[in-house]
Amino acid sequence: MSATTAIILAAGVGSRLRPLTDRVPKCLVPIGRETILARMVRLLAAHGVSELVVAAGYLEGLVRDALRDAPLPVRFAPCPDHATTQNVVSLHRALAHVAPGRHVVKLDGDVAFDGAIVARLMASVDDAAAAVDDTAVAPEEAMKVTVAGGRVTRFGKGIDARAAAGESIGVERFAAGAVPGLAAAVARAVEAGRTDVYYEDVYNDLIGEGLVMGRVSTAPLRWCEIDDADDLAHARAAFPDA
């Protein structure tokens, strides 16, 4: 069985959490006894991930310091242009550090979640799989998905919430055989100047080319994307002993 690398995208400023993020990046904001990042890394190590690649930009030195004693080997993908590019660029740089033949779990660096969600993704037999909250109508501004036959057919913030099958939580898994295609598609997007798109736009390209992207429901497990003060309060209530 191939080993698994986790890619954590943690380059952004987190401006909606200011003033907390004036001095630390969003991933280092605490939600309990741990920061968002420390909790994520602990859960990944507990669920079979054997190494990390972290895309860091804003206050990168603090992220490096925080992971100095991480329970897993860590490599960094610097993103000095994080303020002027989208997350497709961060993913492109991170994928360059993944050795051939490894599965990849990609995580946004601002998500708190129950570890069992990672276990469900790791158990998927599809080429790729996305964790989807299908328990309620997704907010209009959310990254929504459409699904057919248990598989994701499209990602998009512009998808009508009434037609969506749920909200993508920002955690996906790519089997080792699908990683080269992902890396190539992301590279093509960046080289073509599409540095202002979301990585989900590239996922849509791959799905259109035949990638099988399974839908992994998060129900009834907990998760929270932490964008602003209200999200942070919700996360701290949901994970008081993070």
pLDDT of residue 242: 57
Question: Three-class SS of residue 236?
Answer: helix
Confidence class for position 2, pLDDT limits 50, 70, 90: confident
**Cut 0.85: pTM above it:** yes
Structure tokens at 67: 């992971």
Would you say 53 and 5 are in contact if contact means Cβ atoms under 8 Å apart?
yes
Residue ranges per structural domain of the chain: 4-236
The CATH number of the structural domain formed by 4-236 is: 3.90.550.10
Cα–Cα separations (whole angstroms), residue 171 to 89, 101, 133, 163, 211: 17, 20, 11, 21, 17
Write out pLDDT tens, residues 110-139: 999 999 999 999 999 999 999 999 998 888
Structure tokens at 188: 């093509």
